[in-house]
Amino acid sequence: MVKRIGGIGKMWCGAKVINIDDALPHKVSEVICVKCGHRWLAVRPETTRLKELECPECHRQGFVIETGETNNVGGVDWEQWCD
């Protein structure tokens, strides 16, 4: 059920509020989908296995591997920044 709240275009879809601490600690790494070749920076709980990640491009699960690239993307060390 979608409810309109204040202003044009602002909607509330009954989203569940989650405790942000449930997602900590986390891991940041560059990954690639070996199925379609799409690369992205994945931020995920440490307990999440790579085979559980879904590619945002082809939407296949189980084909993601880490590239081994450092986390210094765009001149920012994301591991340090997120700690």
Tell me the pLDDT tens digit for each residue of 30-77.
999 999 999 999 988 888 999 999 999 999 999 999 998 866 655 666
**What pLDDT is stored for residue 25 in this prediction?**
84
pTM: 0.59
61: containing domain: 19-73
1: confidence class by pLDDT, cuts 50, 70, 90: very low
CA distance 57 to 42: 13
Does a structural domain hold residue 34? yes
- 33 and 42 in contact (C-beta within 8 Å)? no
pLDDT at 27 over 60: yes
Does a structural domain hold residue 52? yes
Does a structural domain hold residue 57? yes
**What pLDDT is stored for residue 2 in this prediction?**
46
Does a structural domain hold residue 2? no
CATH number of the domain where residue 32 is located: 2.20.28
Number of domains the chain is built from: 1
